[in-house]
């Protein structure tokens, strides 16, 4: 059996340089995301969300991005979950996309806020029926005695709501408003390309102005 310490891979698929990258990180992210989708990598919309609890212990989990624009990155979940509780106490988070087949990583940091009730309602009602019932059936992050609890809850709420379950009050969307992006492209000999975009203190996007991003190359 090969030692895990001996596992190696040479990254040689692409490069990332200042001349070929967008000055706006959102446009660079959109380009890479579309390439991940068109390349048919497994779950290109999967991202890791990292939060920090009041005891300063970090935790991560994988969720699915559901939207992105100049206002931020959006996903939906249970507000009573561990990540929901941690965001309530510390509204900062980090996201990471890892497109292994393309040898690319995107890291995003910023402040997180809940999306509007209307936006949460619109997305919830676009979901498949089983997923809407599941939002009621799963007391996310709580200890349960067995899978039978989830099955029984699904039957209960399915019978109660039939085809029209409303959005649970404990379920909805979050939006991370980025102030720091990093784009990593694997390169040969571990001399990887790594670009960081930092939101300039001079930016005043709240007034409708375009954000100003400082782009810098970091050593890998």
| CA angle at 202 for the pair 219 and 95, rounded to the nearest 5° | 50
**Residue found under tokens 């799963």:** 138
Which position among 114, 190, 194, 215 bears the catalytic label?
190
Q: What is the pLDDT along the chain (220 residues), one digit of tens a residue?
A: 789 888 888 998 999 999 989 999 999 999 999 999 999 999 999 999 999 999 999 999 999 999 999 999 999 999 999 999 999 999 999 999 999 999 999 999 999 999 999 999 999 999 999 999 999 999 999 999 999 999 999 999 999 999 999 999 999 999 999 999 999 999 999 999 999 999 998 776 555 678 999 999 999 9
215 is an active site residue = no
Conformation bin of residue 128: beta by default, left when phi > 0, alpha when psi is -120 to 50:
beta
Residue-level pLDDT at 88: 97
Residue-level pLDDT at 2: 81
Residue-level pLDDT at 208: 63
Query: Is the CB of residue 95 less than 8 Å from the CB of residue 108?
Result: yes
CA distance linking residue 61 with residue 59, whole number of Å:
7
Conformation bin of residue 189: beta by default, left when phi > 0, alpha when psi is -120 to 50:
left
Residue-level pLDDT at 101: 97
Residue-level pLDDT at 202: 78
| CA angle at 62 for the pair 130 and 15, rounded to the nearest 5° | 125
Residue-level pLDDT at 9: 87
């Amino acid at each position: 059996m090969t030692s895990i310490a001996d596992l190696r891979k040479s990254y040689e698929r692409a490069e990332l340089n200042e001349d070929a990258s967008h000055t706006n990180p959102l446009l660079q992210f959109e380009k890479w995301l579309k390439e991940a989708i068109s390349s048919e990598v497994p779950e290109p919309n999967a991202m890791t969300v990292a939060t920090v609890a009041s005891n300063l212990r970090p935790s991560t989990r994988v969720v699915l991005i559901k939207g992105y624009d100049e206002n931020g990155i959006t996903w939906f979940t249970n507000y009573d979950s561990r990540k929901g509780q941690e965001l309530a106490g510390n509204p900062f988070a980090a996201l990471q996309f890892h497109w292994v087949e393309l040898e690319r990583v995107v890291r995003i940091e910023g402040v997180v806020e809940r999306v509007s009730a209307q936006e949460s309602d619109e997305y919830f009602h676009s979901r498949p029926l089983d997923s809407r019932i599941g939002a009621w059936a799963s007391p996310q992050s709580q200890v349960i005695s067995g899978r039978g609890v989830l099955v029984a809850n699904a039957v209960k709420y399915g019978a109660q709501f039939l085809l029209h379950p409303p959005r649970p009050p404990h379920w909805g969307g979050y939006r991370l408003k980025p102030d720091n992006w990093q784009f990593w492209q694997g390169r040969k000999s571990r001399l990887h390309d790594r670009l960081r975009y930092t939101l300039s203190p001079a930016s005043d996007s709240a007034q409708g102005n375009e954000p100003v991003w400082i782009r810098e190359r970091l050593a890998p």
